[in-house]
């Protein structure tokens, strides 16, 4: 059976696209633009959640009723925006976090490992930022919309 997620060629293309996006963020001007864009979209979503929580909830319920995959895609987009926004803030703090050049000195492998650990933590905290953003939006939408049906 050919599962849609078992396509190795698609996985390689996705990883290449992701690496290109991460590499583009090494340019500070691009990073600022991406930070403004993702931050602006997140702020717009939060404005919708805060000022029209009942409409947001009913729209999501309607989409979920029509197509379950579409509702998962919407949740993934909201998570992804929060994750990339958090990642952009970390890239401002640690601009060289994705550089993987091995130094040839005695402590080169130690420096690489320390950088690798920091990179892993940045991605972990970025994912946590996306999860917190998504959960906070869900909780606020449910709390402000009044009912739990």
Q: Would you put residue 17 in left (φ > 0), alpha (ψ -120 to 50) or beta?
A: alpha
pLDDT tens string 33-57 = 989 999 999 999 999 999 999 999 9
pLDDT > 70? residue 147: no
pLDDT tens string 21-34 = 777 777 788 889 98
Q: What is the reported pTM?
A: 0.75
Q: Where does the pLDDT of residue 1 fall: very low under 50, low under 70, confident under 90, or very high at 90 and above?
A: very low
pLDDT at position 36 is 93
Tokens 């000195």 correspond to 105
**Phi (first) and psi of residue 3, to 5 degrees:** -80, 145
Structure-token pair, residue 14: 């996705």
Rg, the chain, Cα only:
19
Q: Where does the pLDDT of residue 81 fall: very low under 50, low under 70, confident under 90, or very high at 90 and above?
A: very high
Whole-angstrom distance, CA of residue 134 vs CA of residue 131: 5
């Amino acid at each position: 059976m050919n599962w849609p997620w078992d396509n190795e060629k698609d996985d390689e293309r996705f990883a290449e696209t992701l690496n290109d996006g991460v590499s583009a963020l090494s340019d500070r001007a691009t990073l600022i633009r991406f930070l403004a864009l993702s931050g602006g979209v997140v702020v717009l979503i939060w404005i919708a959640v805060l000022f029209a929580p009942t409409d947001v909830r009913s729209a999501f319920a309607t989409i979920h009723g029509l197509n379950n995959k579409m509702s998962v895609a919407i949740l993934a987009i909201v998570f992804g925006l929060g994750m990339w926004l958090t990642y952009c803030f970390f890239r401002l703090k640690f601009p060289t976090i994705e550089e993987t050049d091995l130094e040839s000195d005695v402590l080169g492998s130690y420096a690489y490992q320390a950088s690798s650990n920091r990179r892993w933590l940045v991605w972990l905290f970025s994912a946590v930022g996306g999860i917190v953003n998504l959960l906070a939006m869900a909780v606020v939408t449910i709390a402000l919309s009044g009912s739990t049906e």
